[in-house]
Amino acid sequence: MRFRRLSVLVVAVASIVACTRPSQIAEKPVTAASPEARIQQIPSADPQKYAASRDTKTWRNPYLIVKKDGIWLLDAENNEERLLKSDRLLDELAALPASAWPYGRVVAVKEIGITGSDQDKIALRKNRAILAGTLEGANVLINWLPSA
């Protein structure tokens, strides 16, 4: 009889524990700040710091290149270009360290518009518009550099 009572008690406690809600702390998902929020933490652009930088050799902030096949991020240290997906543009910029933004919230952009077909020109304009709209929406200034 004692064993039976103990068994019923164990089953009852297990049922109650299984049916209770987890604590509020466990329910809150741990989320990182959005890319827009992380970019907003970068100080506003300071034109006096970058006014003389008109090429890739002297530019120290992020440098983007618009081509017909997409938007590219230039890694000046390694002299490498990395293709960015347009929907991940802000994620990629927000992931850069604070040291990558000495001029504040501004990027240099150069358009590589090698003359080609009408389709190439349309693709280039589309990528330029996506870039400009995305950066404008995140309050990132664009320092348009002359095309090569």
pLDDT value at 147 more than 90 = no
The predicted pLDDT at position 40 comes to: 95
The predicted pLDDT at position 146 comes to: 84
The predicted pLDDT at position 1 comes to: 58
The predicted pLDDT at position 22 comes to: 47
Q: Where are the domains of the chain?
A: 35-145
∠ CA 139-144-147, nearest 5°, is: 155
- For residues 105 and 42, the answer to whether their CB atoms sit within 8 Å is yes
Residue that the structure tokens 């209770």 belong to? 20
Residue range 87-115, pLDDT digits in tens = 999 999 999 999 999 999 999 999 987 76
Rounded Cα distance, 145 and 65, in Å = 10
> 25 or 78: which carries more pLDDT confidence?
78
